[in-house]
Amino acid sequence: MPRHWRAPLSLLFSLFVLPICTSAANSFENTAIVRTVELGGALVHVTTTYAVKALEDGSSVYTLALGEQEHARTSWLEAKLKGQPGLLPLGDFGYHPESGVFLYTVDLPKALDTNGTANLVVETVLTHATYPWPREAAQKDPQSLKYSTDLFVISPYKTAVQRTKIRSPTPTVHSYTDPEDIEFTTDSVVTKSGATITYGPFYDIPPSATQDFVDAKQKQITIHYDYEFPIVEITKLERTAEISHWGANLNIENKIDLHNAGPRLKGHFSRLEHQTQSYFGRTSAHILPGMNLMLPPGIHSAYYVDQIGNVSTSHLRTVPSVPKGSNANSYSLLELRPRYPVLGGWNYSFTLGWDSPLEDYAGYDSATGKYVVGIPLLTPMPTAVVDEAEIKIILPEGATDIDYFPPYPALSESITKHITYLDTIGRPQITLKYRDLTDKHTGNIYVTYKVPFRAHLQKPLAVATAFIGVFIVALAWKRVDIRIRRK
């Protein structure tokens, strides 16, 4: 899973110093754990707050545990101290087969003394954690989803009290599990108030990141809730960023395969029914008539095409460009309407691209002669999940000393040759592959490269060579006598 973390220097030597969770179990204790689950469609946001107390002097490395199911679904993991904006460095300790959990370490900024406390806030985003239930729905039916998770938050340390709050987007919750035989509490296990379902509080839980606890005590809870927005899943995204120095232009092209991951359509699609619904403004929750995308400022010449050709049902409102590197929050708005409303289980593929001035993205460091360019990893598509993403950055011809810095570690990286208009030797192309990207993956990919001056001249000289070839053929042709009769 692509994660937002930078491997700390302590990681390598910790591998030997920290054999397994049991030895670390003595250095911390959780005084309280509160897990808040914000239910959504394709994405589920989970915020877990750990109130930790150090049991030894100099404790600074806290270990988090994720169960197998939870880890498979987690696409984003970040930790910070409550009230502070800075992210804490995370370390990945991988899977421990004896305990059946995945471990991560968080480096606290200041080591805690005995009985020192800290509040750790861990935010995760889960993808593919919900599924539509019922699996099929007619055009007029509402849309409901089911979400299953573990009842207890597991941790390698003892927990004094823990509770889980699950917040549904609407108060309409069809059902939620009422687990039986729970040892750690004497009161009722689950309460519901409005759109929030609270499981707990559970008292005095021993270190739970072990196979025994998970087998014996862990329970699954399932919430069945109403969801009023279409679930957008992009099964494949091919994003290409092409840099042109002659045209001072950055062209970004996205090839998107859109899938509506809601309940499959049962029966026929009635256009008449759809027109009636949109006329009265009451389209069903699982129908995706269009999307509003936020594109970068300063773009021009945007194109929206699909297999048939140009799609005219779109409207782009551009916004003037902002200087490079600034965090301005102005976006160009593109109102996209596919040729047909995308119903549950339906797919739609299209290509969306635009040109933007290169000055907004690239800089030139005259001290080293390097160009630095920052390309956004994704176009923000709120609440959508991208299953597979391939991001290609095409540098100008003759680029050397190429170095790239993705914001999240990629599944695979490669540099190949790409040939396009007026190329002779081809351009370097950096390809990065990712899986399960969410709307939180909004970093920039930075690339530094050098282009010598003569590489810029390669294109005009290639065209000039073609011209002179034509002229030489003309020279030879003029000297050939093709008359039938010699005068």
User: What are the φ/ψ torsions at residue 12 (nearest 5 degrees)?
Assistant: -65, -45
What's phi and psi for 406, nearest 5 deg?
Answer: -75, 150
- Tell me if 99 sits within 8 A of 155, measured CB to CB: no
Sole binder of another protein in the list 194, 325, 369, 382 (CB under 8 A): 325
Which span sits near another protein by CB under 8 A: 37-45, 138-146, 229-237, 472-480? 472-480
Q: Which is nearer to another protein, 138 or 302 (CB)?
A: 302
Write the DSSP string, 13-35.
HHHHH--SHHHHTTTEEEEEEEE
Name the one range near another protein by CB under 8 A: 123-131, 261-269, 317-325, 331-339.
317-325
How far is C-alpha 418 from the geometric centre of its chain's CA atoms?
26
Task: Please name which of 376, 329, 324 lies closest in space to residue 354, comparing C-alpha atoms.
Answer: 376
Side chain identity at 11, as an amino acid letter?
A: L
Residue tagged 């391939």 (tokens)? 390
Contacting residue, 363, 388, 440, 455, with another protein by CB under 8 A: 363
Distance CA 334, CA 317 (A): 6
Side-chain half-sphere exposure of 419, counting CA atoms within 13 A: 4
Binding-residue pattern over the window 64 to 103 for another protein, x denoting contact by CB under 8 A: ----------------------------------------
Q: Which is nearer to another protein, 190 or 322 (CB)?
A: 322
366 forms part of the interface with another protein (CB under 8 A): yes
CB contact at 8 A, 342 and 258: yes
Q: CB-wise, 16 or 453, nearer to another protein?
A: 453
Residues 212-271 that bind another protein (CB under 8 A): 242, 244-249, 251
Pick from 184, 371, 434, 449 the residue near another protein by CB under 8 A.
371
Check binding of 474 to another protein (CB under 8 A). Answer: yes
The reply on whether position 110 binds another protein by CB under 8 A is no
Which residue lies nearer to another protein by CB, 171 or 325? 325
Nearest-angstrom CA–CA distance, 217 and 159: 14
CB atoms within 10 A of CB 156: 24
Total residues in contact with another protein, by rule CB under 8 A = 53
Residue located via tokens 């889980």: 164
Q: Which two tokens stand for residue 198?
A: 């609270």
Q: Binding residue for another protein (CB under 8 A) from 95, 203, 340, 405?
A: 405
> Closest by alpha carbon to 198, among 425, 310, 37, 403?
37
**Shorter beta-carbon distance to another protein: residue 279 or 471:** 471
Identify the residue among 13, 320, 471, 486 touching another protein (CB under 8 A). Answer: 471
Q: Which stretch binds another protein (CB under 8 A): 108-116, 169-177, 206-214, 352-360?
A: 352-360
Do residues 424 and 273 lie in contact, with contact meaning Cβ atoms separated by under 8 Å?
Answer: no
Residue 160 token pair: 């004094």
Pick between residue 15 and residue 468 the one whose CB is nearest to another protein. 468
Query: For the chain, percent helix, then strand, then coil, each to nearest 5?
Result: 15, 45, 40
Nearer to another protein, 76 or 361 (CB): 361
Q: Beta strand 136-137 with 264-265: parallel, antiparallel or unpaired?
A: parallel
| φ and ψ of 232, to 5 deg | -95, 125
Q: Smallest distance, Å, CB 378 to another protein?
A: 17
Sequence-separated (6 or more) residues with CB below 8 Å from residue 381: 232, 234, 291, 293, 439
12 versus 422: smaller Cβ distance to another protein: 422
CB of 34 to another protein, least distance (A): 31
Q: And the tokens for 436?
A: 């399960």
Residue closer to another protein (CB basis): 7 or 333:
7
Q: Which two tokens stand for residue 477?
A: 């042709």
- For position 393 contacting another protein by CB under 8 A, the verdict is no
One of 88, 151, 362, 386 touching another protein (CB under 8 A): 362
Please name the residues in contact with 386: beta carbons below 8 A apart, sequence gap of 6 or more: 234, 237, 378, 434, 436, 437, 438
Minimum CB separation of residue 441 from another protein in Å reads 14
Per CB under 8 A, the list member of 218, 301, 347, 414 interacting with another protein is: 301
Least spacing, CB of residue 305 vs another protein, in Å:
15
Q: Is 339 in the site for another protein (CB under 8 A)?
A: no
Binding segment (CB under 8 A) for another protein, from list 195-203, 254-262, 283-291, 468-476: 468-476
Instruction: Using DSSP bridges, classify how beta strands 159-167 and 28-38 pair: parallel, antiparallel or unpaired.
Output: parallel
421 sits near another protein (criterion: CB under 8 A): yes
Is residue 318 close enough to count as binding another protein by CB under 8 A? no
- For residues 434-453, which are near another protein according to CB under 8 A? 444, 446, 448
Q: Hey, is 44 helix, strand or coil?
A: strand
Residues that bind another protein (CB under 8 A): 6, 242, 244-249, 251, 301, 323-325, 355, 357-366, 371-374, 403, 405, 407, 420-422, 444, 446, 448, 456, 459-465, 467-468, 471-472, 474-475, 478-479
